Structure 1
Amino acid sequence: MIELNGSSLRLDQMHAILFEESGVTLNDEALIRVTKSREAVEKIVREDRTVYGINTGFGKFSDVKIDEKDTKALQLHLIRSHACGVGEPFPEIVSRAMVVLRLNALLKGFSGIRAEVLKRFAYMVNHRIHPVIPQQGSLGASGDLAPLSHLALVLLGEGFVWQNGKPVPAMDIWKKHRLQPIVLEAKEGLALINGTQAMTAQAVVNYLEAESLAYNSEWIAAMTMEALYGITDAFHPAIHEARGYPEQVDVATRMLGWLEDSQLTTIQGEKRVQDAYSIRCIPQVHGASWQVLGYVKEKIEIEMNAATDNPLIFDEGETVVSGGNFHGQPIAFAMDFLKVGVAELANISERRLERLVNPQLNEGLPPFLSSEPGLQSGAMILQYSAASLVSENKTLAHPASVDSIPSSGNQEDHVSMGTIGARHAQSIIKNARNVLAMEALCAMTGCHIRGAEQMAPKTKAKFDQLKEVVPPIGEDRIYAPDIEKIAQLLTR
């Protein structure tokens, strides 16, 4: 079980919650903070102080005062009216992340929500009750209003949740668990939806997948080097220490580790003096992508523990301040940066794949790795497919964060589009994974032709693992299932 306290959640803990089915518990001190913050809201309502979101309208309606008797209806109307997301739903794993992150943010105790609501969130995590949340409709500022409203609907017994991969009415689930829906009190609706948890949830999943893919890209590249008699001198530690980027040094070290004791790699001058950039510059290019991942990780871990709603309540209600922590610009930039870093892993992978299949470049391997060149096409169209995906990535890598459209009568006149950036980053990761799967299939085929028994022990172990999933290219076959199987392997 992972204890949540609003301030110390890490990505490795999110991995445990998302991919290892760990549950969550709530820190007692955090719940005390939450209770005190709630008491402050109730005092504001009793004293009829005018405070945004508690007894006023929202956005452009912030100047409209709401009677005390209508504060519950105000929150209900807010959730229903803002639940206007469209398109395909987020993957269930992202929905789970969204619940965890919203819970963790509210545990900071600055939002004025009841502990009862947060305990229901924890129940949802621990019983795998995951809301169905449409992906499209968030501007990424004023919070991820539409996606988080669909999340909040489930608490109210409205909307839908996932069950066995299919949407079912939320009320059916609460009846099954013998629980009543939550009835929102003053400010609670706003506390639930004013935040960046949709983009951050997708960002968490993106980072975890991208990190895994970056590690996998290295052994795939090492296998390609063996198939092409690659020159290992380019990974000499002195070269990379001379430049000074730690990530570049680390990649070069890992590459030498993968290729240790290989009988297929060469040294400079043995077959040629130097390799093409897609081989020789693996530490420089992959290392730069690791720099991107480092930046992204830092920003995500800050945002996972951030208070991102509005207004925030301090000093037990004596200070209630309206601000803009719901603005998603930090995550928008991080996701746009991640798109570029992952797209480059695919770009260089496609260039290595081209060298494996091109008879002008592949050091004597059969043209397109065909067992009968001309009669059988071999891997010819794998390169076409990879080229298509890297080209698509270049379009998706256009930064979402440079766009903004005013909303709410121009009151909310600058927005981040961070959720769009996070969604596009997920598409780039999927495309990159498929490109690397294609390189892996061609690299294992090249090593099979060279003689797999000559491979380095570590790459040979990966070769054997791949071979359990798909065979090397031989007689022409339908390659789409092979790509999918290897891509699945690369998600681990």
Structure 2
Amino acid sequence: MLSIEGNISKLDFFEDVLLRNEQIILTPSAEKKIKESYTFLHEFSSDKIIYGINTGFGPMAQYKVNESDQIQLQYNLIRSHATGGGKKISQLHAKSLLLCRLNTFLQAKSGVHIELIHLMVELLNRNIIPVIYEHGGVGASGDLVQLAHLALALIGEGEVEYNGEVCDAKEVFEKEQLKPLQIHLREGLALLNGTSCMTGIGAVNLLQAYKLLDWVVIGSATINEVVSSFDDYFSEELNAAKTHQGQHDIAGMIRTLVEDSQLIRKRENVLYQDEAQSIAVFQDKVQEYYSIRCVPQILGPILETLREVEKVVLNEANSVSDNPIICSKTENVYHGGNFHGDYVSLAMDKLKIVMTKLSMLMDRQLNYLFNHKLNNILPPFINHGTLGLNFGMQGAQFPVTSTVAENQSISFPNYVHSIPNNNDNQDIVSMGTNSALLTKKVIENSFEVVATYQLSIAQAVSYLKIQDKMDPKLNSVYELVCGVVPPFKEDYPIFKDLRKLKEVLSAENTAQFFKQVAKEI
């Protein structure tokens, strides 16, 4: 049971709730603050004009709403903005959205009733997740359309995913003996105003992005073993000559991953010896191609970007992205634009770009393994069969190339795609949800690439029969991959096996041993 009170300090909290289905419980202090905020707003708003309580919304804020219609106003807002289109976002991403919205309410600056908080906690703990659609958010005034579908489910009029099926929320609430939300004061506006959709998707994107980076560091280390590279590419001395922490960390990870390898060579034992002076043309490369020897320099900025994005996502998850902001401490209500999603939009664009670069590195390393004229140690396309009759991994390169090209195409930043709307009330917007969703697509694409990538590396290891000389940590990855797709000689349709491998590599816990290695650095 995890306590929650509005301060998610680590990304691991999302992993615990979303992937391990840990139950959450409100702290007494969180409940107390929520009740105090609601009581203050209820009393404070009785004789004042406050946006969204006794006024219309957006461009219609100039119109006062009679007291007798104020609750209906909230229901009208929810119903009118539940206009989402496109595909529904996955249950995992929708659950993350729900968690983020709950966490922002726990800042006790939205003036919501404690009944709303209790209902959201129950939905999370019982895995009853509102159905949310991809299309609709422009990321200013928050993720209005996506959050309207969250609100619609909470009032018992929308849809939820329950036991693997899409069901009417009303029916599920009745079955689970849950009471739909009865609006108090401004819960409609509070639910819709915020960046919780882009932030929730962003948190899941980050969890998956770290896994992808793990697999590419592991793959790059193994390729260094496959080609018997020199160790100075990832040496502490060389990489310390640049002052970037990410580069230092990636080089350190590779050193740890190959520390017990019998395949990595030292330059001083080969090229610094007297006999090397008499050689006119070297058969082995004096320096490997960039995709192999520049891994710390390429993956370093990717790692640093992930850390930067993580900070932004956690900050946003712990922020109040509502409008107006209720402050019982100063006894005032503040109007502004905390619902604007520029922080997350820019962060997701950065994540999208570096994940595309990650897929590009895999593509180039694969091309090196597939092209016998480049590596000089493997048959074309790591073909274990008869050349000309069999094709090895030849057919698998085409989807990699096309998928990486798609990543490149959709990596243009959404942060600069603002289009005015809402009668020009929203005259500059973040497009943060679009950015988060496109980043999700790039990450999903990259997991397709990493499946082919890891399978190809395993095929290379198997062909060269170097398992007993590899570092045991990397050999365990080889065995993991071969446990899903055994080394093969004869051609067969491998698309189903690639899907299985993708599922394994993207699943929880498959890279846990590497996380432990990383902690030692």
TM score, norm. by length of structure 1: 0.97
Equivalent residues of 1:147, 1:198 under 8 A apart: yes
Q: In the TM superposition, what is the alpha-carbon distance from 1:489 to its structure 2 partner?
A: 1.9
Q: Quote how far apart the aligned CAs of 1:250 are.
A: 1.2
- 1:222-259 deviation digits (Å, cap 9, x = unpaired): 22222223332211100111102111111111112222
C-alpha separation in 1, matches of 2:195 and 2:440: 17
Q: 1:283 aligns with which of 296, 310, 334?
A: 296
Q: Distance in 2 between matches of 1:376 and 1:363?
A: 19
Name 1:330's counterpart in structure 2: 343
Aligned residues of 1:389 and 1:435 also touching (Cα < 8 A)? yes
Does residue 13 (structure 1) correspond to residue 27 (structure 2)? The answer is no
Alignment of structure 1 residues 21-420 onto 2, 5 Å: 21-47=21-47, 49-268=48-267, 269=270, 271-315=284-328, 318-370=331-383, 371-420=385-434
Give 1:73 deviation, angstroms.
0.2
Q: Do 1:258 and 1:459's aligned partners in 2 also have CA atoms closer than 8 Å? A: yes
Among 470, 481, 497, the alignment partner of 1:455 is 470
Q: How far apart, CA to CA, are the structure 1 residues paired with 2:503 and 2:27?
A: 36
Helix, strand or coil at the partner of 2:161? strand
Check conservation: 1:369, 1:445, Cα contact below 8 A: yes
Contact 2:232 2:238 in 1 (8 A): no
Q: CA deviation at 1:423?
A: 0.4
For residues 9 and 292 of structure 1, the distance between their equivalents in structure 2, rounded to whole angstroms, comes to 18
In the TM superposition, residue 394 of structure 1 has moved relative to its aligned partner by 0.6
* Distance change in 2, residues 1:235/1:144 (3 Å): same
Deviation readout 1:282-307 (Å, 9 max, x if unpaired): 11111110011011011011001000
**Distance of 1:273 and 1:356 partners within structure 2:** 18
Q: Distance in 1 between matches of 2:164 and 2:412?
A: 32
| Preserved CA contact (<8 Å) 1:80 1:149 | yes
CA deviations 1:140-199 (Å, max 9, x no partner) are 110100001101111111111112322100001110012221111221100111000000
In 2, Cα distance between equivalents of 1:439 and 1:137: 35
Whether the 8 Å contact between 2:249 and 2:300 is mirrored in structure 1 is yes
Give the superposition deviation at 1:260.
Answer: 2.3
Q: Find the counterpart in structure 2 of residue 480 from structure 1.
A: 495
- In 1: Cα distance, 2:247 partner to 2:396 partner: 29
Structure 1 residue matching 2:444: 3-state secondary structure: helix
Q: Distance in 1 between matches of 2:434 and 2:231?
A: 41
Q: Which runs of 5+ in 2 are unaligned?
A: 272-283, 509-521
Go from structure 1 to structure 2 and tell me whether the alpha carbon gap of 1:64 and 1:316 turns closer, same or farther (over 3 Å shift).
farther
Residues 251 and 317 of structure 1, relative CA distance in 2, 3 Å threshold: closer
Matched residues in 2 for 1:229 and 1:482: separation?
A: 29
The count of corresponding residues between Structure 1 and Structure 2 is: 491
Cα deviation, 1:318-361, whole Å, max 9, x if unaligned, reads 31111100000000000000011111111011100001111111
Give how far 1:392 is off.
0.5
Q: Which residue number corresponds to residue 516 of structure 2?
A: none
Residue segments in structure 1 that go unaligned for 5+ positions in a row: none
Q: Contact between 1:55 and 1:186, CA under 8 Å: does it hold in 2?
A: no
Whether the aligned pair in 1 keeps the contact of 2:74 and 2:187 (CA below 8 Å) is yes
The one-letter code sitting in structure 2 at the alignment partner of 1:7 is N
Q: Check whether the contact 2:40–2:328 (CA below 8 A) recurs between aligned residues.
A: no
Letter in 1 for 2:6: G
Contact 1:229 1:363 survives alignment (8 Å): no
Counterparts of 1:265 and 1:446 in 2: how far apart (Å)?
Answer: 16
- Following superposition, the deviation at residue 78 of structure 1 comes to 0.4
Q: Deviations over 1:380-414 (max 9, x none)?
A: 12222111111100111110110111122111111
Q: Aligned to 2:449, what secondary structure does the other structure show? A: helix
Moved more, 259-268 or 82-91: 259-268
Residue 462 and residue 423 in structure 1: after superposition, are their counterparts in 2 closer, same or farther (change >3 A)? same
Residue type of the alignment partner of 1:254? M
Instruction: Quote the Cα distance in structure 1 between the aligned partners of 2:231 and 2:366.
Output: 18
CA shift for structure 1 position 45: 4.2
Q: Distance in 1 between matches of 2:45 and 2:289?
A: 70
- Which deviates the most, 347-356 or 481-490? 481-490
Q: What amino acid is the match of 2:388?
A: G
Partner of 1:430: 444
- Give how far 1:317 is off: 7.3
SS at match of 2:123: helix
Q: In structure 2, how many angstroms separate the alpha carbons of the residues matched to 1:383 and 1:420? A: 29
SS at match of 2:241: helix
Deviates most, 294-303 or 454-463: 454-463
Does the aligned pair in 2 maintain the 1:369–1:473 contact within 8 Å?
Answer: no
Task: Determine the C-alpha separation between the residues in 2 that align with 1:167 and 1:108.
Answer: 31
Contact 2:162 2:172 in 1 (8 A): no
8 Å Cα contact 1:437/1:487 also seen in 2: yes
Using the TM superposition, give the Cα deviation of residue 9 of structure 1 relative to its aligned residue in structure 2, in angstroms.
4.3
Report the TM-score, using the length of structure 2 for normalisation.
Answer: 0.92
Q: Look up the SS of the partner of 1:63 in the other structure.
A: coil
Query: Do 2:372 and 2:378's aligned partners in 1 also have CA atoms closer than 8 Å?
Result: yes
Query: In the alignment, is the contact (CA less than 8 A) between 1:36 and 1:316 conserved in 2?
Result: no
Are positions 1:444 and 2:443 aligned together? no
